[in-house]
Amino acid sequence: MGKLPDKYKEFSAWYDSVIEGADIIDKRYPLKGMIVWKPYGFKALKLTMRILEELLEAYGHEEAYFPMLVPEEVFSKEKDFLEGFSGETFVVERTISKKLTRKLLLRPTSETVMYYMFSIWITSYRDLPVKLYQTVNVFRYETEQTKPIIRVREIVRFNEAHTVHRSLEEADRQIEEAIEIYSKFFDTLLIPYIILRTPKWDTFAGAEYNYDFFTIMPDRKAIELGSVINLGQKFAKAFDIKFQDQDGKWKYVYQTCYGVSERVVGVLLSIHGDSRGLIWPPSVAPIQIVIVPIPSETMYNDILSKAKKIEERLKTAGYRVKLDDRPDLTPGSKYFWWEFRGVPLRIEIGEKEVKEGKVTIARRDLMKRVVAKDEELEETIERLFREISEELYRRAKEWFYSNIIMAESIEEAAKKYNDVGGGIIKLPWCGEDQCGLAIEEKIGLEGLGYNPKEKARGKCVVCGKEAKYYFYVGKKY
């Protein structure tokens, strides 16, 4: 393993080197956009998704499982949805040796699958609200350039929540709740974000409106982290999901859905990594602590025995810990190995540590060592985990906020975007579609959306009227 490419100047090269070199994934599987998750990476993916699942359950969602294949007639019920997904949805028409009588589609997302069942399950206001989620593989034939973990054709872990409500107000409140859940989730992963309402012309197929969470990658492109969608009654009408209300009348339900995928793992690796490789936030590190015994001619038995005791002690305490006792590697090459793989803390145990009843602990983020007494080990680890998280978050925020740039005119926006070499640009906007579309076209960037709660100042950069919002633009993954 030579020197890594520069994360900021050659992001793609850096990304490919670390995710493959550090055993996160293998992209040599012979299908474009479909990758193998190796044990080290997959463990982090599961830990990451578990944080989200626990949050969803704490907010009253239950986990279910709905089939992966969708009969064509079910998939086609909502026309905007059908049109939005027809290019990227895989179709099964046969087995190797037999033709089927119906077309079956591979879910690109599960609205149609679930809502068919909701129309059976829901008959009374007593059945509401429904708050379900599932974490499943979904399939999208992406025609744009694929990128491992970030833009794939098999999304290996799509966490999609779907809720059903009695009133528009309740659905709106659910959107707020979903935003709260996702905010806590990305906060835990130490990923800074902005939450933007998608402009009307880009709204999710079949939705009333939706919000996206965006962050900024090391190449200064914006990336969508998660989506929160108010479906209104569009699917309710397409799937005939009705309930009898307390007043005896039959009414269509209101629905929301929101989703996050393994992409967040690709993003957090990109944001927190550095010139030496990955850095995991302690909360999702597949290995949180590695223990390296330092060779000694006279004391190696004592050293190894202390290392094993500490391994056992930390495992019992619930840490994900690994003792690296490979005999054929020097401590230096072990340090390098685990630094590259992003393990947040390393414990070194040598003669001195045995004699003095201490351990040396090295932080991955600052590449600095501290010494702790044996009896203070757990509290020191807890403190260091907290400090590492704070440091990673501080760095991530610094990067993020320095790449959100205000501009008062199209020209200023274009110039600043070029000077900085990317980022997210915000411009005063009157809120009208034609002006938003004009901004996109004139700057040659994509519209990411606007924050309805953010007060705007200045004049719309297209029509010159009083600005209602800031319109956010950038290049998107």
Contact status: 95 vs its own copies (CB under 8 A): yes
Contact status: 211 vs its own copies (CB under 8 A): no
Contact status: 464 vs its own copies (CB under 8 A): no
CB of 295 to its own copies, least distance (A): 21
Contact residue for its own copies among 19, 24, 44, 104 (CB under 8 A): 104
Tokens of 100: 């089927």
**Considering CB under 8 A, how many residues would be counted as binding its own copies?**
56
Q: Which helix (H) or strand (E) holds 85?
A: helix 79-85
Please spell the DSSP secondary structure of 298-358, one letter per residue: TTHHHHHHHHHHHHHHHHHTT--EEE---TTS-HHHHHHHHHHTT-SEEEEE-HHHHHHTE
Contact status: 453 vs its own copies (CB under 8 A): no
Q: Residue written as tokens 């890594």?
A: 4
CB of 178 to its own copies, least distance (A): 19
CB of 148 to its own copies, least distance (A): 12
Contact status: 88 vs its own copies (CB under 8 A): yes
Contact residue for its own copies among 47, 51, 55, 74 (CB under 8 A): 74
The Cα-based distances of 347 to 145, 254, 276 in angstroms read: 41, 54, 18
Under 8 Å between Cβ of 362 and 345: yes
Q: CA-CA distance, 150 to 144, in Å (whole number)?
A: 12
Tokens of 129: 């609200």
CB of 75 to its own copies, least distance (A): 8
Under 8 Å between Cβ of 290 and 195: no
CB of 231 to its own copies, least distance (A): 20
**Interacting residues of 263 by C-beta distance below 8 A, sequence separation 6+:** 149, 150, 151, 155, 223, 224, 225
Contact residue for its own copies among 115, 116, 209, 417 (CB under 8 A): 116
Query: Hey, what's the torsion of the CAs at 262, 263, 266, 270, to 10 degrees?
Result: -150
Contact status: 34 vs its own copies (CB under 8 A): yes
Stretch that binds its own copies, among 79-87, 267-275, 365-373, 383-391 (CB under 8 A): 79-87
Contact status: 414 vs its own copies (CB under 8 A): no
How many residues can be counted in the chain?
Answer: 477
Strand, helix or coil at 467?
coil
**Looking at beta carbons only, is 198 or 255 nearer to its own copies?**
255
Strand, helix or coil at 409?
coil
Write the single-letter amino acid at 303.
I
Contact status: 64 vs its own copies (CB under 8 A): yes
Under 8 Å between Cβ of 70 and 113: yes
Q: Residue written as tokens 């059903």?
A: 164
CB of 302 to its own copies, least distance (A): 28
Q: CA-CA distance, 278 to 271, in Å (whole number)?
A: 9
CB of 67 to its own copies, least distance (A): 4
Write the single-letter amino acid at 224.
E
Stretch that binds its own copies, among 69-77, 233-241, 298-306, 334-342 (CB under 8 A): 69-77
Q: Residue written as tokens 């199209």?
A: 410
Contact status: 295 vs its own copies (CB under 8 A): no
CB of 185 to its own copies, least distance (A): 20
Give the helix ranges, DSSP H, for 196-290.
Answer: 234-239, 263-272
Among the listed residues 381, 344, 346, the one whose alpha carbon sits nearest the alpha carbon of residue 360: 346
CB of 86 to its own copies, least distance (A): 4
Q: CA-CA distance, 117 to 120, in Å (whole number)?
A: 5
Under 8 Å between Cβ of 293 and 350: yes
CB of 184 to its own copies, least distance (A): 21
Contact status: 67 vs its own copies (CB under 8 A): yes
**Looking at beta carbons only, is 45 or 196 nearer to its own copies?**
45
Contact status: 141 vs its own copies (CB under 8 A): yes
Contact status: 42 vs its own copies (CB under 8 A): yes
Contact status: 58 vs its own copies (CB under 8 A): no
Stretch that binds its own copies, among 11-19, 88-96, 268-276, 360-368 (CB under 8 A): 88-96
Stretch that binds its own copies, among 22-30, 184-192, 216-224, 291-299 (CB under 8 A): 22-30
Contact status: 29 vs its own copies (CB under 8 A): yes
Under 8 Å between Cβ of 41 and 23: yes
Q: Which helix (H) or strand (E) holds 203?
A: none
**Looking at beta carbons only, is 45 or 384 nearer to its own copies?**
45
Q: Under rule CB under 8 A, which residues in 145-204 are in contact with its own copies? A: 154, 156
CB of 360 to its own copies, least distance (A): 29
Contact status: 144 vs its own copies (CB under 8 A): no
Give the residues lining the site for its own copies (CB under 8 A).
26, 28-31, 34-39, 42-43, 45-46, 62-69, 71, 74, 82, 85-98, 100, 104-106, 113, 116-117, 120-121, 132, 136-137, 139, 141, 154, 156
